[in-house]
């Protein structure tokens, strides 16, 4: 192990000073150093104002074993992640935000660095950074946004969760029943630099949704951590329990975290390269190739975007969550939807929506996988086939086969097998991140082997 003095990490002294000043201006006494782990949980350690200058210059220690911890705090056996060894939570100072829901506290999002001051191979945020760099090398800058569906629940005297209301989709009664919650969410997100675009009650009892404005992909993943933290905290302060689990109640609609993605020119920042005015759906050839790459790798991608046992209860036909590998214009049963553009801004709003994403994902892994697959499609010119304008579940088996519309993996194990067989994604992850992810996720599957498969409520309070 090398001593810190031998390590050449770059410390931006001016940024450290201005961060410390921002703490003092906002009476911050405790700062959370957060990261999203292999299992998709947001974890971290908090540093006092007094110890902050030192922590900003040397990071915060974390045992390597945490990368092999599953969401139920069961440690898995993974090479290089045993009881010996440390990494550092290395804060990205540009992510500093005062927490509007936690007085006198702020947060930073961290990369994981090894003791030589290099990005650690198992760091999910670095996996996304590498995918971004590959995009930039090809002249691309991607923007993304997540749509967050969540369930508001209350507990009964036995401690069981129930949806808080029985209202219907987009119901104005539900808008009123949630009281100040949407305004509190909007204000809390805006205070953290995240622009909430819409709020509405969703299809299921207790289900609600917020969407946020798109941002460059690393920031979009950071924003997703902010959104998850904020939804839970603000709901709790309003007397609700918010769950972002993919399928909080087996008999009700699931919670998606659909990703909208667009590809822009690195050199001409205002140019959305996914747009083509001449195309019937307003998409460029490169955007179709991006979709082709997503579809080609989709069974493996879903291992990273729908990564819990609970996820596969959500991916059912005719629930608007998507269950088939296909794409189509405004088709809510297709895994990839070509989203119709905004009147007045067709160029700026051209994007594709990936529906096979939920909030049990690590957003750095999810966006990294989406970029890796999409860029492969662009590089190889992969054609996505014909767009589908009907619900794939209404086609006969023979028609689906003829159009090469396969069902998505039906379980976490099936998705993990697809990931193991996908050389591109495995290589992009690297052996250490891949082994940790596989071990953690296989252990989750094993955790539910002896219980009724529908009963994955253990995830309810975790996401
Ligand atoms: N709740 C659906 C899902 O699980 C999505 C509904 C919608 O189209 O917004 O993905
Ligand atoms: Mg929705």
Q: Tell me, using a 6 A CB cutoff, whether residue 45 lines ligand 1.
A: no
Q: Tell me, using a 6 A CB cutoff, whether residue 314 lines ligand 1.
A: yes
Residue 1: what pLDDT? 44
Residue 426: what pLDDT? 98
Is the same domain home to 106 and 140? Answer: no
- Phi, psi dihedral angles at 332 (to 5 degrees): -80, 0
Residue nearest to atom 8 of ligand 1 (CA): 320
Among 120, 155, 182, residue at a domain's last position: 120
Q: How close is the Cα of 56 to the center of ligand 2, in Å?
A: 39
Residue 160: what pLDDT? 84
CA 116 remoteness from chain centre? 29
Flag whether 125 is in a domain.
no
Report which ligand 1 atom has the smallest distance to the Cα of 149: 1
Q: Tell me, using a 6 A CB cutoff, whether residue 253 lines ligand 1.
A: yes
| pLDDT per residue rounded down to tens, the chain (463 residues) | 444 556 678 899 999 999 999 999 999 999 999 999 999 999 999 999 999 999 999 999 999 999 999 999 999 999 999 999 999 999 999 999 999 999 999 999 999 999 999 999 999 999 999 999 999 999 999 999 999 999 999 988 888 889 998 889 999 999 999 999 999 999 999 999 999 999 999 999 999 999 999 999 999 999 999 999 999 999 999 999 999 999 999 889 999 999 999 999 999 989 999 999 999 999 999 999 999 999 999 999 999 999 999 999 999 999 999 999 999 999 999 999 999 989 989 999 999 999 999 999 999 999 999 999 999 999 999 999 999 999 999 999 999 999 999 999 999 999 999 999 999 999 999 999 999 999 999 999 998 887 765 666 788 889 9
| Number of CB atoms found within 10 A of residue 403's CB | 15
Report the residue among 146, 169, 200, 202 best suited for mutation to probe ligand 1: largest number of ligand atoms under 8 A from its CB.
Answer: 202
As a whole number of angstroms, the distance between CA 209 and CA 258 comes to: 11
Is the same domain home to 139 and 111? Answer: no
Is the same domain home to 137 and 252? Answer: yes
Is the same domain home to 193 and 103? Answer: no
As a whole number of angstroms, the distance between CA 141 and CA 108 comes to: 24
Is the same domain home to 365 and 264? Answer: yes
What is the tally of helices (H) and strands (E) in the chain? 14, 15
Report which ligand 1 atom has the smallest distance to the Cα of 254: 4
Q: Tell me, using a 6 A CB cutoff, whether residue 263 lines ligand 1.
A: no
Is the same domain home to 28 and 115? Answer: yes
Cα separations in angstroms, 198 against 99, 149, 152: 21, 12, 17
Residue 128: what pLDDT? 98
As a whole number of angstroms, the distance between CA 184 and CA 66 comes to: 33
Starting from the CA of residue 256, give the closest ligand. Answer: 1
Is the same domain home to 369 and 449? Answer: yes
Flag whether 384 is in a domain.
yes
Report which ligand 1 atom has the smallest distance to the Cα of 207: 1
Q: How far apart are the first and last CA of the chain?
A: 36
Report the residue among 244, 254, 315 best suited for mutation to probe ligand 1: largest number of ligand atoms under 8 A from its CB.
Answer: 254
Is the same domain home to 285 and 401? Answer: yes
Task: Write out the residue range of the structural domain in which residue 14 sits.
Answer: 4-120
Flag whether 43 is in a domain.
yes
Among 100, 120, 140, residue at a domain's last position: 120
Q: How close is the Cα of 356 to the center of ligand 2, in Å?
A: 12
Starting from the CA of residue 321, give the closest ligand. Answer: 1
Q: Tell me, using a 6 A CB cutoff, whether residue 321 lines ligand 1.
A: yes
Residues, beta carbon < 5 Å, ion ligand 2: 209
Flag whether 167 is in a domain.
yes
Report which ligand 1 atom has the smallest distance to the Cα of 319: 2
- Bridge pairing between strands 60-63 and 241-243: unpaired
Cα separations in angstroms, 450 against 112, 303, 446, 454: 35, 22, 8, 11
- CATH number of the domain that residue 9 is part of: 3.10.20.70
Residue nearest to atom 6 of ligand 1 (CA): 320
Q: Tell me, using a 6 A CB cutoff, whether residue 248 lines ligand 1.
A: no
Is the same domain home to 190 and 333? Answer: yes
Q: How close is the Cα of 449 to the center of ligand 2, in Å?
A: 30
Q: How close is the Cα of 255 to the center of ligand 1, in Å?
A: 6
Flag whether 210 is in a domain.
yes
- CATH number of the domain that residue 371 is part of: 3.30.590.10
Residue 6: what pLDDT? 63
Provide the token pair at 407.
Answer: 């069902």
> Following DSSP, what letter does each residue of 389-424 receive, concatenated?
-S-GGGS-HHHHHHTT-PBPPSSHHHHHHHHHT-HH
Is the same domain home to 76 and 156? Answer: no
Q: Tell me, using a 6 A CB cutoff, whether residue 149 lines ligand 1.
A: yes
As a whole number of angstroms, the distance between CA 309 and CA 413 comes to: 8
From the list 257, 239, 255, 233, the residue with the least C-alpha distance to 185 is 233
Q: How close is the Cα of 257 to the center of ligand 2, in Å?
A: 8
Q: Tell me, using a 6 A CB cutoff, whether residue 106 lines ligand 1.
A: no
The 3-state DSSP class for residue 224 equals: helix
As a whole number of angstroms, the distance between CA 298 and CA 293 comes to: 8
As a whole number of angstroms, the distance between CA 197 and CA 148 comes to: 11
> Following DSSP, what letter does each residue of 274-325 receive, concatenated?
TB-TTSTTSB-HHHHHHHHHHHHHHHHHHHHHS-STTHHHHS-TTTTS--EE
Q: Answer yes or no: are the C-beta atoms of 141 and 266 closer than 8 Å.
A: yes
Report which ligand 1 atom has the smallest distance to the Cα of 253: 1
Residue 99: what pLDDT? 98
Flag whether 152 is in a domain.
yes
The 3-state DSSP class for residue 185 equals: helix
Domain count, the chain: 2
Is the same domain home to 64 and 157? Answer: no
Residue 46: what pLDDT? 98
Q: How close is the Cα of 147 to the center of ligand 2, in Å?
A: 7
**DSSP β-bridge partners for residue 259:** 146, 354
pTM: 0.96
Flag whether 191 is in a domain.
yes
As a whole number of angstroms, the distance between CA 149 and CA 289 comes to: 29
Starting from the CA of residue 320, give the closest ligand. Answer: 1
Residue nearest to atom 7 of ligand 1 (CA): 320
Is the same domain home to 275 and 178? Answer: yes
Q: How close is the Cα of 246 to the center of ligand 1, in Å?
A: 10
CB neighbour list of residue 417: distance below 8 Å, 6 or more residues apart: 409
Q: How close is the Cα of 346 to the center of ligand 1, in Å?
A: 24
Report the residue among 355, 359, 360, 463 best suited for mutation to probe ligand 1: largest number of ligand atoms under 8 A from its CB.
Answer: 355
Among 120, 155, 179, residue at a domain's last position: 120
Residue 454: what pLDDT? 62
């Amino acid at each position: 192990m090398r001593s810190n003095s031998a390590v050449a990490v770059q410390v931006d002294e001016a940024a450290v000073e201005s961060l410390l000043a921002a703490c003092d201006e906002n009476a911050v006494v405790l700062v959370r150093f957060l990261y999203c782990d292999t299992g998709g949980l947001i974890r971290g350690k908090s540093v006092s104002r007094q110890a902050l200058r030192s922590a900003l210059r040397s990071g915060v220690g974390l045992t390597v074993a945490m990368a092999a911890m599953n969401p139920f705090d069961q440690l898995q056996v993974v090479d290089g992640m045993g009881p010996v060894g440390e990494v550092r939570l290395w804060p990205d100072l540009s992510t500093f935000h005062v927490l509007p829901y936690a007085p006198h506290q702020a947060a930073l999002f961290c990369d994981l660095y090894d003791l030589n001051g290099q990005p650690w191979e198992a760091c999910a945020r670095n996996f996304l950074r590498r995918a971004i760099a590959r995009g930039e090398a090809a002249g691309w800058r991607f923007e993304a946004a997540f749509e967050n569906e969540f369930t508001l629940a209350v507990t009964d005297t036995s401690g069981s969760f129930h949806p808080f209301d029985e209202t219907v989709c987009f119901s104005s009664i539900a808008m009123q029943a949630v009281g100040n919650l949407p305004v509190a969410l909007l204000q809390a997100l805006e205070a953290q630099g995240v622009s909430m675009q819409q709020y509405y009650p969703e299809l299921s009892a207790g289900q609600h949704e917020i969407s946020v404005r798109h941002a460059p992909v690393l920031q979009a993943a950071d924003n997703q951590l902010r959104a998850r933290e904020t939804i839970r905290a603000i709901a709790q302060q309003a007397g609700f329990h918010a769950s972002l689990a993919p399928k909080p109640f087996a008999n009700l609609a699931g919670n998606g975290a659909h990703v909208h993605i667009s590809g822009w020119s690195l050199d001409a920042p205002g140019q959305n390269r996914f747009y083509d005015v001449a195309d019937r759906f307003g998409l460029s050839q490169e955007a179709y190739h991006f979709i082709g790459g997503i579809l080609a790798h989709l069974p493996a991608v879903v291992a990273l975007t729908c990564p819990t046992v609970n996820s596969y209860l959500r991916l059912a036909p005719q629930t608007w969550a998507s269950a088939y590998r296909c794409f189509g214009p405004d088709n809510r049963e297709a895994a990839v939807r070509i989203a119709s553009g905004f009147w007045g801004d067709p160029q700026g709003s051209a994007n594709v929506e990936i529906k096979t994403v939920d909030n049990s994902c690590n957003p750095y892994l999810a966006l990294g996988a989406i970029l890796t697959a999409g860029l492969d499609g662009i590089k190889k010119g992969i054609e996505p086939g014909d767009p589908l304008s009907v619900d794939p579940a209404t086609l006969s088996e023979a028609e689906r086969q003829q159009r090469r519309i396969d069902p998505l993996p039906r379980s976490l194990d099936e998705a993990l097998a697809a990931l193991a067989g996908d050389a591109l994604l495995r290589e992009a992850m690297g052996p250490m991140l891949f082994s940790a992810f596989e071990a953690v996720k296989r252990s989750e599957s094993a955790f539910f082997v002896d219980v009724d498969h529908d009963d994955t409520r253990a995830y309810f309070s975790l996401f």
